[in-house]
Amino acid sequence: MGVNNIGLSLQILDDLTDIEEDVTNLNHNMLRSWILYHHPDGAFDIEQLNRLDPEVLKHPEIHFQRATQQVMHLAIEMALKGFDYLKQIGYPADRPSAQELIKTMFQLRGLERFWDTHQQYLDSTDGRANISDINYTDYFLF
């Protein structure tokens, strides 16, 4: 369960980085789904998304700020929950170390701007945001 959560969270990170490619190729993508079905940045349909200039999709954190923040939060919380599961079965992981590891993964992938997006989301919720703030059950069960 823990490794599964961590793996899914990494896939979501990948979805953030290649949304332009996934929209063009009609591939499944968590951020794309979030934009279309949850509308946190306003109503958007598939035709509108397909017509966007590819440059817009290269920076979803600018053009779809709330969706990107929510999906980032989901990915990070999912990974942290995965580390919590690993700790329950004896793996020596604590939450602060797991957060530092996740932040390092962002840096290694060149995704510092997305980490900043997550921090902005936490700031906007006064640090009270948690995974239950987001309805993820349509996507994953964990």
Q: Where are the domains of the chain?
A: 2-133
pLDDT > 50? residue 140:
no
55 near 71, Cβ under 8 Å? no
Cα–Cα distance for residue pair 88/52, rounded to 1 Å: 45
pLDDT > 50? residue 21:
yes
- Mean pLDDT for all residues in the chain: 84
Taking only the tens place, the pLDDT of each residue in 47-106 is 999 999 988 999 998 999 999 988 988 888 899 999 999 999 999 888 889 989 888 888
- How confident is the model at residue 128, as a pLDDT? 56
Question: In terms of pTM, does the model score above 0.85?
Answer: no
